[in-house]
């Protein structure tokens, strides 16, 4: 190729799952963004971008493509063979969440202008089946608010070249549900809970006193050593298989104390070996 290769993110997925939020997040991160570009025009778009200043592009491809949607796998393969880095992000959500969102916004589902939202969702899942199978990353937004989704998308698509898988370390509370996007879930509820210590109850795992209460234990240090070893074992193998993202989720009861302290310490111990690492305390502000 005479022109430099582009980093292209294809955002696709279910209507109501957060594609608009995702494209705005990438726009804020410096991507050149287009919503609802006919997929057949993607090769031409890369040509027009040429050797200009556009190096990173994000495009929404969804059921609005109509009959052209079936061409998406072939077109993406063509663009990859031309030397561009193409990543497909599929946004999904539970049927109940999608139905609730359509009800709240009073929007009509694009595949059910006269029928029910549930009928539209079923039809859309079938239409998008091939693209979902092609996805490099699937994010379930059922339990995410717009701020959580934006933060997650921006963390996934760092401007640095992807030389290996990126790692997200997440703390969460089982009370609020297990993160559906987690690849590895580790339960830290075997440790004493600072919640039951009066002077620590109102603090979080970011506080030095709480962190010391959690981390200054032999069982915590043994646990961390095993988790670090596990990550060191897994990462080269994920890289070999071409997996771009890995999410390790650490859970305690409420997501405020134990999991927060351990997630921060795990991130600290791994950040020199894994430069593309992101820490996210999902439930630290929840009641």
Local confidence pLDDT in tens for the 287 residues of the chain? 445 678 899 999 999 999 999 999 999 888 999 988 888 888 888 888 766 678 889 999 888 877 778 888 899 999 988 888 888 999 999 999 999 998 887 778 888 877 788 989 999 999 898 888 888 888 889 888 888 888 888 877 766 544 556 788 999 999 998 987 788 999 999 999 999 999 999 999 999 999 999 999 999 999 999 999 998 888 878 777 766 678 899 999 999 999 999 999 999 999 888 877 889 898 998 87
The reply to whether 161 falls in a domain is no
In a shared domain, residues 108 and 195 = no
In a shared domain, residues 145 and 187 = no
Strand 7-13 versus strand 85-92 pairing type: parallel
The Cα–Cα gap between 199 and 195 comes to: 9
DSSP category for residue 154: H
E-strand ranges in 14-125 read: 32-35, 56-60, 85-92
In a shared domain, residues 171 and 147 = no
Distances (CA, A) of 204 to 134, 282, 284: 40, 13, 7
In a shared domain, residues 26 and 55 = yes
Pull the structure tokens for residue 94.
């539970």
Q: Is 167 helix (H, G, I), strand (E, B) or coil?
A: strand
Q: Is 97 helix (H, G, I), strand (E, B) or coil?
A: helix
- The residue among 135, 156, 177 that closes a domain is 156
What is the domain range of residue 271? Answer: 166-281
DSSP bridge partners of 140: 92
The reply to whether 71 falls in a domain is yes
In a shared domain, residues 177 and 143 = no
In a shared domain, residues 18 and 138 = yes
The reply to whether 183 falls in a domain is yes
The Cα–Cα gap between 165 and 142 comes to: 24
The pLDDT of residue 4: 66
Distances (CA, A) of 237 to 11, 74, 117: 26, 28, 41
Count, residues in the chain: 287
The pLDDT of residue 1: 42
In a shared domain, residues 63 and 110 = yes
* Termini Cα distance of the chain: 54
The answer to whether 259 and 173 are in contact (CB under 8 A) is yes
Pull the structure tokens for residue 66.
């109509």
The Cα–Cα gap between 94 and 125 comes to: 11
The reply to whether 286 falls in a domain is no
In a shared domain, residues 191 and 272 = yes
In a shared domain, residues 28 and 83 = yes
In a shared domain, residues 16 and 151 = yes
The pLDDT of residue 104: 83
Q: Is the full-model pTM beyond 0.75?
A: no
The reply to whether 1 falls in a domain is no
Task: Count structural domains, the chain.
Answer: 2
The Cα–Cα gap between 283 and 86 comes to: 32
The pLDDT of residue 159: 60
In a shared domain, residues 147 and 189 = no
The Cα–Cα gap between 98 and 14 comes to: 8
In a shared domain, residues 84 and 173 = no
Q: Is 278 helix (H, G, I), strand (E, B) or coil?
A: strand
- The residue among 110, 137, 156 that closes a domain is 156
Say if residue 243 is exposed, middle or buried (CB neighbours under 10 Å; 0-12, 13-18, 19+): middle
- The residue among 100, 134, 156 that closes a domain is 156
């Amino acid at each position: 190729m005479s022109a430099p290769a582009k980093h292209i993110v294809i955002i696709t997925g279910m209507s109501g799952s957060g594609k608009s939020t995702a494209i705005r997040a990438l726009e804020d991160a410096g991507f050149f963004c287009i919503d609802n570009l006919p997929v057949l025009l993607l090769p031409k778009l890369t040509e027009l971008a040429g050797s200009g200043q556009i190096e990173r592009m994000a495009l929404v491809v969804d059921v609005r493509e109509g009959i052209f949607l079936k061409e998406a796998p072939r077109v993406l393969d063509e663009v990859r063979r031309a030397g561009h880095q193409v990543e497909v992000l599929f946004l999904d959500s539970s049927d109940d969440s999608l139905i609730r969102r359509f009800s709240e916004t009073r929007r009509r589902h694009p595949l059910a202008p006269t029928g029910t939202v549930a009928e539209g969702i079923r039809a859309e899942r079938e239409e998008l089946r091939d693209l979902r199978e092609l996805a490099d990353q699937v994010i379930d937004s059922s339990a995410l608010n717009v701020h959580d989704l934006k933060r997650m998308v921006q963390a996934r698509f760092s401007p640095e070249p992807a030389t290996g898988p990126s790692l997200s370390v997440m703390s969460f509370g089982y009370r609020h549900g297990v993160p559906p996007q987690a690849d590895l879930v580790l339960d830290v509820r075997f440790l004493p809970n600072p919640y039951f210590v009066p002077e620590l109850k109102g603090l979080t795992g970011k506080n030095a006193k709480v962190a010391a209460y959690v981390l200054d234990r032999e069982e915590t240090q043994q646990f961390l050593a095993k988790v670090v070893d596990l990550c060191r074992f897994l990462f080269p193998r994920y890289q070999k298989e071409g997996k771009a993202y890995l999410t390790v989720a650490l859970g305690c009861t409420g997501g405020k104390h134990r999991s927060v302290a351990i997630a921060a310490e795990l991130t600290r111990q791994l950040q020199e070996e894994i430069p593309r690492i992101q820490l996210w305390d999902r439930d630290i502000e929840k009641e």
